[in-house]
Structure 1
Amino acid sequence: MNDDLDPEAVASALLSSIGLLVRRARQVPLVGGLTMPERSALSQLDRTGPTTSSALARDAQITAQAMGATLGALRTRGLVERRPDPDDGRRVVLSVTDAGRQALRNKRNERAELLARALTSGAFTPTELEQLAAAAPLLQRLAQTI
């Protein structure tokens, strides 16, 4: 390792630049109309599988009312469905519909296309594109190491 590299300075630079990239990518309005809370709830539900609204609210650290409003909007659009809990018929569990999974895929694809357009805009040299391509698996490994 290069003795001139300060791991704390590298960490700080990475957090700053990656944070800015993520914030900018999330701020650009995309077709599809999922709000940030809707996208977060839908992604969380997709990852965890069928669960209750209160469990989703607890995991997201928001009020049950806020989660209920978000899930209501997702249900109205057919992205989430309610079913009786197979273990306790008094409770209701929510799950992502096929349309909800497609909306998540579309959103991810749109974000990737947004980045691809930025990468091919002429702002990056071929060498810089190679460096970014080489950095991607390293950043993934770094995230998995945390």
Structure 2
Amino acid sequence: MSHLPAPSSTTAPPAPAHAKRRSVAELSHDFRLANGRLARRVRQEQADNELTSGQFSALGAVFRLGPMTLSALSEEERVTPPSMNRTVNALVEAGLVDRAGSAEDGRKVVLTVTDTGLALVRETRKRRDDWIARRILKLTPDQRQVLAAATDIMKELANS
């Protein structure tokens, strides 16, 4: 015999999992895991190449920011100059980045993306954007609004 009260028509349905209250620690943990899983999944959508994620990130930085020195790229990617030098060597060997002497200072080397590198970055961006867009199309209008607001919050977090 059950000692639970009989269901009432005024009883609210349980809150969806995303609506439950979480502590800041739980939310930060869940957010970090979900963000990491999504980032790994999106990284799988790339043009056919043998680049590591670090190499592609460096290539993307030169693509996005334009010609730059090795030290500037190291700072941007938050790695040591010797580590970035190995990454750039691989990109140069693959024909994706060129090194040239700086017009202002002959001691400095400036990195630029080659036409092959440009095509690779553009194709990978297209694949990744298409993958996400196909999933966003499956969301309800309310979910899209929430995603838009969350995207703005994520940008704030990333820039803080």
TM-score normalised by L of structure 2: 0.66
Residue among 132, 136, 139 paired with 2:147:
136
Residue among 59, 76, 80 paired with 2:97:
80
Identity %: 32
Structure 1 runs not aligned, ≥5 long: none
Query: Is the alpha carbon distance of 1:37 and 1:144 closer, same or farther for their aligned partners in structure 2, counting shifts above 3 Å?
Result: closer
> Is residue 29 of structure 2 the alignment partner of residue 18 of structure 1?
no
Query: Is the alpha carbon distance of 1:29 and 1:83 closer, same or farther for their aligned partners in structure 2, counting shifts above 3 Å?
Result: closer
1:145, CA displacement in angstroms? 2.6
Name the residue aligned to 1:91. 108
Alignment of 1:22-61 (within 5 A): 22-26=39-43, 31-61=48-78
Query: Is the alpha carbon distance of 1:140 and 1:116 closer, same or farther for their aligned partners in structure 2, counting shifts above 3 Å?
Result: closer
- What is the number of residues matched between the two proteins? 136
1:10, CA displacement in angstroms? 4.6
Higher fraction of helix: 1
Q: Which has the larger radius of gyration?
A: 2
Query: Is the alpha carbon distance of 1:28 and 1:109 closer, same or farther for their aligned partners in structure 2, counting shifts above 3 Å?
Result: closer
Name the residue aligned to 2:119. 102
Q: How far apart, in 2, do the equivalents of 1:28 and 1:104 lie?
A: 12
Tell me the alpha carbon deviations over residues 42-68 of structure 1, each in whole angstroms, 9 at most, x when there is no partner: 112223322221332233232323222
RMSD (CA atoms): 3.0
Structure 1 runs (4+) greater than 6 angstroms displaced = none
